[in-house]
Structure 1
Amino acid sequence: MTTLNADNTEARIDAILVGAIDPHVHSGPSIAPRAIDHLELAREASRAGFAAVITKDHDYSGVMTAALIARHHPELRTKVYSSIVLNNVIGGFNPYAVEHTAAMGGKIVFMPTLAAENHLRWEKTSGWVHPASTQKIRPASGIPVLDANKQVRDEVKEVLDIIAKNDLALASGHLHISETWRVFEEAQKRGVKRMVLTHPEEIVGASFNDVRGIAAMGAFVEHSLCMFLEGSKFRVCDGEDLRKHIDAAGISQTILCSDLGQVGTFSPLEGFRRGVKLCIDLGYGDDDIHAMVSTNAAKAFGLEDDVKRAKVSKH
């Protein structure tokens, strides 16, 4: 691998990030402390030439904020979209909330995260506690996705039908990988075209064989860069682990996101820059890295036109 000086490396990172998409970012306002809000995120991403960001909050859909930013800040290069996470505050598998998110231009429906039964089991052994739950909101209660016979529950199927009808993306959230397999298989039967496995490296219990198999069924595999970066308080893996995950799914089915916005760590943009540098150090070429930070997410979430516009406007 050729050794590059710092200036050349920074220039490569700049170029790779033109047209990038961060599809999983925890900007605020939020009930948990956030270091950056949705508008600040859009401004920071625009300066770097990002095509789009998709905000994620565990407790609300940000589609209204995204609409306000689009209306009042047409100068921003970066389009802001949002998602909905089917936790307790939303009402769990609430078809009205999912339909509303779709009608307002939302892009992703996440299965339960903090309210996933798997997450609540993981939380007991991990030592992790939602940074706001004990002071501001009652503790999460588990939302099941499977019935006693390990079949997908009817209320989940109703949401899957809405996702299919509106061509939204389905993300696995914090379900256990065994639940994700069943939900994804049911989703495909019901016509869902866009599926994303959320951070297999942490919480969800996924193996490299699971990553390989999920990718083979046509789903994308999304990795949270904050979990691989030296100096991140969320780091649980290293660069070689990232390489193994990418090799398991294949570059064409891999998406890199920041999963950042929290206090006490890098900004989402800095996380992306460090993540791209990590991929360069691992020996990946610029085109392959760009695919994992831009064009794959564009395919997963239907944002191809945003990527084209970002590249034109940057030049």
Structure 2
Amino acid sequence: MAENGSNERDAEIAELLKGAVDLHCHSGPAAMPRILDHHEALLDAAGAGFRALLFKDHFYLGVSHCVILEKLVPTDVKLFSGLALNNASGGINPHAVNHAINIGAKIIWLPTLSAQNHLDQLEGQGKTFPKTAKRMLPPEPLSALDATGRVSDATKQVLDLIAEGDIILAGGHLPASELIMVFEEAGRRGVKKLLVNHPTYIVGCTDDDMKALVELGAYLEHSIGMFVEGAGKIFGPDELAHYIQLVGPERTILSSDLGLRGSPRPLEGFRQIVAMLLDLQISPKDIRTMIGDNAAKLLNL
């Protein structure tokens, strides 16, 4: 009897995963030690009936990989990527953003590993973060603000390019206070697609910050890897339920943020989070909204 119940649950999860979209897939090649490459991530996603995958790397633009992979390995999964504005890309660099958008980037992440806030969190609060496989040059701290505490001219130029390209602006690892200022400016400049990456990790959002960002039109992207077993779990089901209730499923996106060696594969993370959502009595409709529909909307699918 228990086996039948387990089979039914697996079938229910498999059905809900059809049409899923992962906006935060950390496959390789990468400077970070990855458990799978883009090809393997694509095959996993295709086997589960995903609608799209978006490859994220902290150091390079992955659009070319997507174009070639889609051509060489035809599936029903759409592949996307974008650019993180870290030191490797020249920081908050309008020229790099202009090029990325022109060749098909769907998202620009504000600084992540090179963000002043990221470096402060690691140093001042003793937080740990995965290390690159080989030693990199010391990071030069980045902020989206200038010396006077206002949104910098380079950031404004990047926002204009994102607005013109109608792609996603993601907050990266900037602190909540900085993010609110940048997203307010983004709204004034016509950016329509705003995404807050793991708001409760590194970014440091309070409940009020999350509500303020959603009022500015943002979606909150929670990292599945922070809730599931085998990935250095930080949060539990109660926190997940709270974050969903805070802004509603219609403003919540669940993306894997998985691929690091020693963690589950992104697909396994999705399976675990769907099981957790079912245990929380979240409706299938709301689950689909959070693991696929909201992200698909941002990608114009």
> TM-score by structure 2 length?
0.96
Return the alpha-carbon distance in structure 1 between the equivalents of residues 183 and 285 of structure 2: 29
Specify every segment of 5 or more residues in structure 1 that has no aligned partner in the other structure, as ranges.
Answer: 305-315
What SS does structure 1 have at the residue aligned with 2:81?
Answer: strand
What SS does structure 2 have at the residue aligned with 1:84?
Answer: strand
In structure 2, give the amino acid aligned to 1:251: P
Contact 1:201/1:237 (<8 A) preserved: no
What SS does structure 2 have at the residue aligned with 1:126?
Answer: coil
Is 1:26 aligned with 2:26? yes
Q: CA deviation at 1:136?
A: 3.1
Q: CA deviation at 1:141?
A: 1.3
What SS does structure 2 have at the residue aligned with 1:185?
Answer: helix
Return the alpha-carbon distance in structure 2 between the equivalents of residues 70 and 300 of structure 1: 20
Task: Kindly report the root-mean-square deviation, in angstroms, between the aligned alpha carbons of the 2 structures.
Answer: 1.3
Q: Which residue of 2 aligns with 1:49?
A: 49
Q: Which residue of 1 aligns with 2:244?
A: 246
What SS does structure 1 have at the residue aligned with 2:53?
Answer: strand
Q: Which residue of 2 aligns with 1:177?
A: 176
What SS does structure 2 have at the residue aligned with 1:23?
Answer: strand
Q: Which residue of 2 aligns with 1:137?
A: 136
Q: Which residue of 2 aligns with 1:307?
A: none
In structure 1, give the amino acid aligned to 2:5: N
Is 1:72 aligned with 2:72? yes
Task: Output aligned runs, 1:86-101, within 5 Å.
Answer: 86-101=85-100
Q: Which residue of 2 aligns with 1:300?
A: 298
Q: Which residue of 2 aligns with 1:198?
A: 197
Q: CA deviation at 1:107?
A: 0.8
Q: Which residue of 2 aligns with 1:289?
A: 287
Contact 1:202/1:236 (<8 A) preserved: no
Q: Which residue of 2 aligns with 1:229?
A: 228
Q: CA deviation at 1:129?
A: 4.5
Return the alpha-carbon distance in structure 1 between the equivalents of residues 33 and 25 of structure 2: 14
Where do 4+ consecutive residues of structure 1 move more than 6 Å? none
State the identity %: 41
Return the alpha-carbon distance in structure 1 between the equivalents of residues 273 and 205 of structure 2: 21
Contact 1:31/1:136 (<8 A) preserved: no
Q: Which residue of 2 aligns with 1:81?
A: 80
Return the alpha-carbon distance in structure 2 between the equivalents of residues 231 and 43 of structure 1: 22
Q: CA deviation at 1:130?
A: 4.2
Return the alpha-carbon distance in structure 1 between the equivalents of residues 7 and 126 of structure 2: 40
Return the alpha-carbon distance in structure 1 between the equivalents of residues 174 and 76 of structure 2: 34
What SS does structure 2 have at the residue aligned with 1:196?
Answer: strand
Contact 2:183/2:216 (<8 A) preserved: no
Specify every segment of 5 or more residues in structure 2 that has no aligned partner in the other structure, as ranges.
Answer: none
Q: CA deviation at 1:20?
A: 0.4
Q: CA deviation at 1:217?
A: 2.1
Contact 2:199/2:222 (<8 A) preserved: yes
> TM-score by structure 1 length?
0.92
Q: Which residue of 2 aligns with 1:159?
A: 158
Contact 1:42/1:79 (<8 A) preserved: no
Q: Deviations over 1:160-192 (max 9, x none)?
A: 000000001000000000000000000000000
Return the alpha-carbon distance in structure 2 between the equivalents of residues 61 and 78 of structure 1: 19
Return the alpha-carbon distance in structure 1 between the equivalents of residues 49 and 197 of structure 2: 25
Return the alpha-carbon distance in structure 2 between the equivalents of residues 114 and 130 of structure 1: 10
What SS does structure 1 have at the residue aligned with 2:10?
Answer: helix
What SS does structure 2 have at the residue aligned with 1:109?
Answer: strand
In structure 2, give the amino acid aligned to 1:120: L
Contact 2:230/2:262 (<8 A) preserved: no
In structure 1, give the amino acid aligned to 2:7: D
Return the alpha-carbon distance in structure 1 between the equivalents of residues 268 and 69 of structure 2: 22
Contact 1:216/1:249 (<8 A) preserved: no
What SS does structure 1 have at the residue aligned with 2:141?
Answer: coil
In structure 1, give the amino acid aligned to 2:293: T
Return the alpha-carbon distance in structure 2 between the equivalents of residues 230 and 26 of structure 1: 17
Number of residue pairs aligned between Structure 1 and Structure 2: 297
Is 1:217 aligned with 2:216? yes
What SS does structure 1 have at the residue aligned with 2:146?
Answer: coil
Return the alpha-carbon distance in structure 2 between the equivalents of residues 260 and 284 of structure 1: 23
In structure 1, give the amino acid aligned to 2:222: H
In structure 2, give the amino acid aligned to 1:33: P
What SS does structure 1 have at the residue aligned with 2:201?
Answer: coil
